Chains A and B, each alone.
Chain A
Amino acid sequence: MVTNVENVQAGANGMSPPAGPPAIEVEHLSIGYHEEQVLRDIDLSVTKGSLVGLIGPNGSGKSTLFKTMTGLLQPWSGRVLINGRPGKPGPDVAYVPQTETVDWSFPVTAGQVVMMGRYPRLGIIRWPRARDHEVVAHALEQVGMGNFRDRQIGQLSGGQRQRVFLARALAQEPSILLLDEPVSGVDATTQHQIFELLDKLCQQGVTTIVASHDLSCVAQRFDHVLLLNRTVHGYGPPEEVLTQELLNQTFQSHLLLLRLGTRTFVVEDPHHFHHD
């Protein structure tokens, strides 16, 4: 399916987005850890309600860009504006990192994990109320995990865990959703469900950026593609950005671009060095 970019930018179903600042605006951003620079001179403007696929090789700075957008990292120079204001950590920007660092034997259930998404809005001392429980139940339903609320997280499969973390992000009721590899290790059916959900959220005005290794998926599923390797190599609709030249620039290796009718596929050239 080819995505009509103009239509998406104007908001789904022909609704015009409210006039206002872009959801995410990155200006001359440079940042790194300790002495090592990771990102340099990033400029980016993401329209409210966009669904952006972020691609780049390992170590290209995808997670660093996300952490800067959430306000976890302070820029060396430049700035990030979220809905027109300098970004700082808060429930409005929901971040779902890659999840290898979580202790799966931690004694919490899926429902409790999702409820954590409500905590920042609740504030200290106040306990979850009926509406918070409704939001949690709805978020679990949205990711197809309604029947697993009382399951300890260690007893869930990899894909189910990722869906629980997505549900926690939804429970934050964010206007911006940053997902780091949300569909890796998820079966095809679930992957499809997640993208349908993301489409729906975008129609509701939630701006979503998804980091993904799966280039073919990005080519077909997203209305914008951001090519990142230390700096922005391209940003725009897939059919404009996914060119042989830009991909080679970004991945510094030989990826083959296949177009079949209106569909775009990206494959790694098996004759060249294999990047993860």
Chain B
Amino acid sequence: MIEFITEPLGYSFLLRGFAAAIMIGIICAVVGTFVVLKGLAFIGDALAHIAFTGIVAAFLIGFSFYLGALAAAIIAALGIGAVSQRTGVSTDTSIGIFFSGIFALGVVLMSIGIQSYTIDLFSYLFGDILSVRQSDLISILILGGIVLAIIAVLYKELLFVSFDPVVAESAGLPARWMQMLLLVLLSVTVVVSVQAVGIILVVAMIVTPSATAYLLTDRFGVMMILGAVFGALSATGGFYLSYYADVPSGGAIVLVATALFAIVAVIGPKRRSLWKLTSGEPEAAQRPA
């Protein structure tokens, strides 16, 4: 039994992958707390796809993939943020057009510029934790550490702005900047997670553990911590599943996260909230006074 747990950790490249997965599970859930409560999942998905084009461009030019993906995602996040603050209307359609267009550009660039589908690029689509090198792990730890540090420092302000941006701004908090900052943090999180979970599944990694936590608590801080626990658990479970069943790590991690959500949704206490999450309807009207 113990051997079952320790065996993969005996290989340094597996240990690296394991460490990366846990770190990613935690950052995704912490940032995901805001994503779930503010309904930013679609933007997160868009950022992941845009990051892909950044990765392809970085490949072609010969840059580090982190630089390419980060630049693409952050520019897109700021663009989305600026557009939604200017117009104040729902930006889903424009984001949909914008991100599909840029992703399409990435696909075309890939087929023109890269003769064979390299293993590397494929792993960014579906995630390959075993491809995490020493330098990648360091990048994940540093970038993830920065994201967590910023959220720790601005915790109160981010909470106020997320809950009630108008009053937060009237009380003197820089609400617009903080909403932009949140999108930048989301971009960094997406890029950091892409290697382990892949572009297609990264949104699930951000949203699912936090949503599971949401079902169990009425406190913001508790939701964040519980989400991080579920994120780390999913990463751990997914890592072993990936190792023993020989399946892609991204799929394995997200499957475990989804299973945890399903279990909590069925046996947990907050059925109404689950209904609210899936329908997007405000539940206030249904609540007894």
Identify the A interface with B (CB < 8 A): 67, 70-72, 88-91, 93-97, 101-109, 112-113, 116-117, 119-120, 122, 124-125, 127, 152, 154-155, 157-158, 165, 168, 172
Contact = CB atoms under 8 A, between A and B. Distances in A.
Contact of A154 (B171, B172, B283): B283
Contact of B282 (A71, A104, A122, A165): A104
Nearest to A126: B156
Interface of B: 37, 153-154, 156-157, 159-160, 162-164, 166-173, 214, 217-220, 222-223, 273, 276, 282-284, 287, 289
B289 A70 contact: no
B163 A108 contact: yes
Given A105-B276, A105-B283, A117 B220 contact: no
B218 A152 contact: yes
Contact of B173 (A104, A120, A125, A154): A120
A95 B170 contact: yes
Given A91-B171, A172-B171, A104 B154 contact: no
Contacts of B282: 103-105
Given A102-B164, A107-B218, A109-B219, A119 B171 contact: yes
A267 B159 CA distance: 43
Would you list the 9 A-B pairs with minimal beta carbon distance, nearest first? A157-B289, A104-B284, A152-B218, A90-B172, A70-B170, A95-B170, A120-B172, A120-B171, A116-B160
A91 B169 CA distance: 10
A88 B282 CA distance: 33
A72 B287 contact: no
Given A67-B170, A102-B163, A158-B289, 12 more contacts: A89-B171, A94-B170, A94-B171, A105-B283, A106-B162, A107-B214, A107-B218, A109-B218, A112-B220, A116-B167, A119-B156, A124-B156
Contacts of A106: 37, 162-163, 220
Given A105-B273, A108-B220, A93 B170 contact: yes
A125 B170 contact: no
B214 A71 contact: no
A83 to B, nearest CB: 15
A107 B171 contact: no
B217 A107 contact: yes
Nearest to B284: A104
Contacts of A67: 170
Given A107-B217, A107-B220, A107-B223, A89 B169 contact: yes
Contacts of A116: 156, 159-160, 163-164, 167-168
B158 to A, nearest CB: 10
A97 B165 CA distance: 11
Question: Which of B156, B157, B220 counts the most A-chain CB atoms under 10 A from its CB?
Answer: B156
Candidate in A88, A89, A91, A122 with the most chain B CB atoms within 10 angstroms: A89
